Chains A and B, each alone.
Chain A
Amino acid sequence: MSTNTAHTPQERPAHPARAARGKGRGRRFRLDRLGPLPWIGPAVALIVLVVLWPVYEMVRTSFLKISVSGFVRGSAGLDKYRQLFDDPDLGSVLLATVVWTVAVVTCTMVVSLALAQLFHQQFPGRRLTRWALIAPWAASVLMTAVAFRWMLDRTAGVLNTLMADLGLIDEPKDWLGDPSTAWPWMMAVAVFVSLPFTTYTLLAGLGTVPDEVYEAARVDGTGTWQTYRLITLPLLRPAFLVGVVINLINVFNSFPIIWAMTRGGPDSQTATTTVFMYQLKNNDIGQSAAMSVVNFALVVVLVVVFLWVSRWNKEEA
């Protein structure tokens, strides 16, 4: 630890020009003349070309009349937005998206806090069990979702068989055919695939809490729960916030889970905005673009909130 703290001053972006002496100074000036362009130019170009251009293209498409085969048939004005807001499914899809995001992120954070606390302890096989925890992160989300769909299959699904054998259900059920049971299962899968990243982020956060702090608490006779609430949780806040934000963005944009398990159906009854957008894309790309723009506006709101929170986090940390 002590060597690390000694490094801290250099972690601030270095000022080689001021710090460098002799020969180094001359080199620095040659680099300066080139400026940042050759260094960061390619990165900026890639971002502009593949991330920012589609934003423009998406907004433009939402004002166009485009045939199914892709030909532009002139301007649609605000028609696509009017069509979208008149769609009887939109309200329930938006509501479902909010419920989905809030429920999945909340469950993920709570379970991850417990998991991180557990896997931070020392016990035999810690390395192996931690390794198993990574599995849902390493496998593609699509694959995990498909595996769950198969395990919930009405006739051959192993979860149906297991629950029937344990006496939890009388007969195998078509869990994904009915929105009221499909939602909880899909949320469970979303939590399942979000746990590894979140737990590892929190584990990293726990690792940065110096042992001395806990020793001091023990000397002072602080109880276990009190130590957790008064010491661990506050020190974990930066990691926790990173987890919340990344999960909010991921879960809000989540597509493969629902797409693989129900395709958003029946109709749009198990669709979030992203799935709804994809359902619309096949019939009317203009309306789909309008949905994307609305969706994107929500993402921008999330990003602004994040910037605001991270500033607040920084000031108080």
Chain B
Amino acid sequence: MLVNQFLMLGAVLFCIGVYGVIARRNAVLVLMSIELILNSVNINLLAFALRNGSADGHTFALYVIAVAAAEVGVGLAMVLLVYRNRKSIALDDLAEMKG
């Protein structure tokens, strides 16, 4: 059924996102991976909304997009500050919080 393909796409995107978060050392790329994860969730929400014929899923997706935009704004600002201080955005160097 059509829903299956939607869900498959969401799962693939989610896995790519998780991989990016775990494996990438570039902070911008990690942020992009987080966007991928959020959007995979959006796809799932829309798929179920269409299947159930309800507007709830759409509304939720819109909220997620708005929150994601804010998140990216904050995240990029942090990246920019880190870059100004260190001339690098490699996450491996940001280990001062090590316990």
Q: Do A and B bind?
A: no
User: What residues of chain B have their CB less than 8 Å away from a CB belonging to chain A?
Assistant: none
User: What residues of chain A have their CB less than 8 Å away from a CB belonging to chain B?
Assistant: none
